Chain A
């Protein structure tokens, strides 16, 4: 199933806004979020899903607002969850000078983070796991996966294991910038994969 880029982008802008409705104060400025392996509106590689190695994808960002001290990332699917969104990944306490996230962040909370994001911790996703777990939509349906990045004005030193609601509450009033990208995913029957 093909999804036109304008439609996907429109959905992205609409839905990203709802991700931060809990935040108060001045509207945060936007910045660019990209990935060396994913593109907004296009299907992400299988290795970022349980159809592959289920690695967390790499992200990069640029144009952060001045005064960014820390970053947080939430990956979520507004087409799933009761109520939506279904959260696939939460990572925060990311140093403000980090240019992004490398691929394959450890899912073991006791394994050290890559040095460029030392101090970062992961929150609990929709399965209650402090780790990335990728898209697994029902066969035949295309879902949009929002990777929302928040620039914060303070080093918050938040504890690991926060869920989405707790994180949004914790960063409320500290978000000075926001960006996101929205790749897609559709599962294929595994018997169609090469072994």
Chain B
């Protein structure tokens, strides 16, 4: 699995699955993000819209999801965050990555709802990520090669991007872990919360889906790898209304 530069991402899908698979998708579903908020359908800024279907592995009907306007992140912040989550879970031959799965929209929406306390941390962290990239790699984060982006993210992850004047609040590692956690949530959580578009995350994990019951035949099919996955939001069952 390589990108257009012939490089393999530092945090590969395989690595991701080692981390997330054991916990299971259900454990990653955020419990408190309200489901009722409407996101106004509108055309996003060119910068934000540009993170969408170009080279996407998604079917055409996904486009409206990624083209909707963001409500919290500025266009510049959205560009930087898009580049970051795209390195955390890139699209590849195994399927859509974080961007195509709507993680950007998930995070933007969460910053109005259950994660509203994190809005300032995102604002400061994304600016600091860009400042750090300019100081150390000679350019804004979005313009770096994927290799340099990965290198920057490793430094941010291990807390080494902490020089005075950069601006990470509470250490760069805290910012990285926050974004990673929200990326995982947006990728593998219930689509009701705005991410996991077309169940891309559940497909990646081979998650059988939300079921109200499992018959003996279902169990046999599951063990044989022949169980047809259910691709419905838990909210489609009506029990959460």
**Chain A stretch 167-184: residues in CB contact (< 8 A) with chain B:** none
Q: Which residues of B contact A192 (CB under 8 A)?
A: 165
A contact face: mostly helix, strand, loop, or mixed: loop
Q: Which residue of A lies closest to B9 (CB)?
A: A108
Q: How far is the CA of A194 from the CA of B166 in the complex (A)?
A: 13
Q: Is A53 in contact with B135, judged by CB distance below 8 angstroms? A: no
Within the complex, the shortest CB–CB distance from B169 to chain A, in Å, comes to: 15
Q: Known contacts being A187-B163, A191-B165, is A133 close to B8, with CB within 8 Å?
A: no
Complex Cα gap A133–B159 (Å): 11
Specify which chain B residues have a CB less than 8 angstroms from the CB of A191 in the assembled complex. 164-165
Judging by beta carbons under 8 Å apart, are A127 and B158 in contact? yes
- With beta carbons under 8 angstroms apart, the residue of A108, A110, A127, A190 that contacts B135 is A190
- In the assembled complex, the Cα of A111 lies from the Cα of B150 at a distance in Å of 13
Instruction: Given A53-B151, A190-B135, decide whether A139 and B164 contact each other with a Cβ distance below 8 A.
Output: yes
State the Cβ distance, B157 to closest chain A Cβ, in Å: 8
Taking the closest CB of chain B, its distance from the CB of A7, in whole angstroms, is 27
Nearest-Cβ distance from residue B89 to partner chain A, whole angstroms:
16
For chain A, give the interface size range.
20 to 34
A190 lies within 8 A of B150 (CB): no
Cross-chain contact A190 with B7 (CB below 8 angstroms): no
Q: Could you say which residues of chain A place their CB within 8 Å of the CB of B155?
A: 50, 54, 133
**Beta-carbon contact of A131 and B154 below 8 Å:** yes
A98 CB within 8 Å of chain B:
no
With A108-B10, A111-B7, A190-B165: A136-B148 Cβ-Cβ less than 8 Å: no
- Asked if A51 and B151 sit within 8 Å, CB to CB, the answer is no
- From 75 to 115 in chain A, residues with beta carbon under 8 angstroms from any chain B beta carbon are 107-108, 110-111
Query: A172 to chain B: closest CB distance in Å?
Result: 29
Q: How far is the CA of A52 from the CA of B160 in the complex (A)?
A: 11
CB-CB nearest in chain B for A191: B165
| B137 smallest CB distance to A (angstroms) | 6
A165 at interface, CB cutoff 8 A: no
Q: How far is the CA of A188 from the CA of B10 in the complex (A)?
A: 27
Contacts of B164 in A (CB 8 A): 139, 189-191
Nearest-CB distance from A53 to chain B (Å)? 6
Q: Kindly state whether residue B231 has any CB partner on chain A within 8 Å.
A: no
CA distance A165 to B148 in the complex (A): 30
Cα distance A49–B131 when bound, in Å? 16
Docked complex Cα distance between A51 and B222 (Å): 50
Q: Is B160 touching A136 in the complex (CB atoms < 8 A)?
A: yes
* Contact, CB under 8 Å: A53 / B136: yes
Instruction: Decide yes or no whether B68 CB sits under 8 A from chain A.
Output: no
B137 neighbours in A (Cβ, 8 Å):
53
Residue of B with least CB distance to A194: B135
A127 to B159 alpha-carbon distance, docked (Å): 10
Chain A residues contacting B136 (CB-CB under 8 Å) are 50-54, 190
Given contacts A190-B132, A191-B165, A195-B135, is CB(A50)–CB(B10) below 8 Å? no
A125: nearest chain-B partner, CB-CB? B158
Question: Which single residue of chain A is at the shortest CB-CB distance from B158?
Answer: A127
Across-interface contacts of B67 in A (CB, < 8 A)? none
Which residues of chain B (108-135) have a CB below 8 Å from chain A? 131-132, 134-135
